[in-house]
Amino acid sequence: MNILFSLFIKLSAFSALAFGGINALLPALYELSVVQEHWLDTQTFANFFAIAQAAPGPNLMTVTLIGWHVYGLLGAIVASIAICWPSSIMIYYLQGYIGRLSDPIKKQTIQFAASALAVGLVLGSAWNISQQINENEKAFALTFISIAIVVFTRWHPLYLIAIGGALGILGFI
């Protein structure tokens, strides 16, 4: 019961801070689940991240998988609810407030500040988490190539995921 409680409380706290969504949360999630609580090892964390990327659905499925690993089906449910409820309540009330803001300066200030924070957190998160789960130079090379393809082309992400998986199966990564 203790571990479920701690899963719920800690993930709930993250939810309210996750500017930039789940992607910005990955290092915090790693720190909590691998370094502090030892719920899983680095390898399993990296693999859950990969499974969530390859599966359909919101990218918060990494969190669902960690919950499942910690406490089975109940853990998965608790983790998924925890990561959603604080932000869901916030947006339920804030959407009306932001929508009704008549002062365009105020409205834009909120919007610009949040989007700059989101960009910084997402990039910082990718940098941080790459140091944890990319095992060698070849993995980093694949990450950099993927970045270039995302930025400069309009390829569907699924192609990249398929290519990454295939390279891995063939033993290149």
Partner 1 sequence: MQPKTLTPKQLFIGFSKIGLSGFGGVLPWARRKIVEQEKWLTSEEFNAMLGISQIVPGPNIVNLSICVGSRFAGVKGAFAAALGLMLGPSAIVILLGLLYEQYHSLTAVQGMLRGISAVGIGLIAGTGFKMMRNEFSFPPMLLVIAVTVIAAGYFHLSLGLVVLIASPLAVYLAWKKAQKI
Near partner 1 in 52-81, by CB under 8 A = 52-61, 64-65, 68-69, 73, 76, 80
Q: Could you tell me how many residues of this chain bind partner 1 (CB under 8 A)?
A: 108
Which residue in 1, 2, 102, 156 binds partner 1 (CB under 8 A)? 156
Which residues between 132 and 151 bind partner 1 (CB under 8 A)? 133-135, 139-140, 142-151
Q: How far apart are the first and last CA of the chain?
A: 39
Given 50, 70, 82, 100, the residue binding partner 1 (CB under 8 A): 50
CB of 4 to partner 1, least distance (A): 17
In the Cβ-directed half-sphere of 166, how many Cα atoms lie within 13 Å? 6
How far apart CA 28 and CA 128 sit, in angstroms, is: 10
Annotate each residue in 16-45 with x if it binds partner 1 (CB under 8 A) or - if it does not, as one string.
Answer: xxxx-xxxxxxxx--x--------------
Question: Segment 75-134, which members bind partner 1 (CB under 8 A)?
Answer: 76, 80, 83-84, 86-88, 90-92, 94-95, 98-99, 104-106, 108-130, 133-134
The span from the CA of 13 to the CA of 87, in Å, is: 10
Query: Pick from 132, 158, 126: which is nearest to 45 by CA?
Result: 132
Longest Cα separation, the chain: 57
Beta-carbon-side half-sphere exposure of residue 2 (alpha carbons within 13 Å): 2
Q: Which residue number, 6 or 59, has a Cβ lying nearer to partner 1? A: 59
Select from 8, 14, 39, 71 the one that contacts partner 1 (CB under 8 A): 14
**Residues 58 and 41: beta-carbon distance below 8 Å:** no
CB of 154 to partner 1, least distance (A): 11
